[in-house]
A and B are shown apart, each in its own frame.
Chain A
Amino acid sequence: MTIKSVAIGAHQISAGAGKDCIFQGLSLQIAAGRWTSIVGPNGAGKSTLLKALAGLLPTRGGHVELLGRDLHAWPRRERARRLAWLGQNEAAAEDLTVYDVAMLGRLPHQGWMQPASGADHAAVEQALRATQAWDWRARALGALSGGERQRVLLARALAVQAQVLLMDKPLANLDPPHQADWLQLTRALVARGHTVVSVLHEISLALHADDMLIIDRGQLRHQGAAGAQATHRALEQVFSDRIAIHHVAGQWLALPRINV
Chain B
Amino acid sequence: MKLDLGISSSSSLQAAVKFSKLADRDSLNCIWIREDPRAQPEIFTVASIILLETSTLKVGTEVTSPLDRNISTIARAAATLSQMGRERLRLGLDAAGPNTLMRDTATLLRRLWTGETVTFTSDRFRLRNYYARYKPSFATPIYFGARNPKLLALAGEIADGVILSGPKRYIEKAVAVVDQGLKKRKRRRGSFRFVAWVPTAIIDKKSDLRLAREAVATVLAVTPEAVLKMAGIAQGRVMPIKAMMVEKGVNGASRIIAEDLLQEVAIFGSPEEVALDLKSLEKYGIDEAIFGAPYGREPAKAIGEMARAWKSLR
The answer to whether A and B assemble together is no
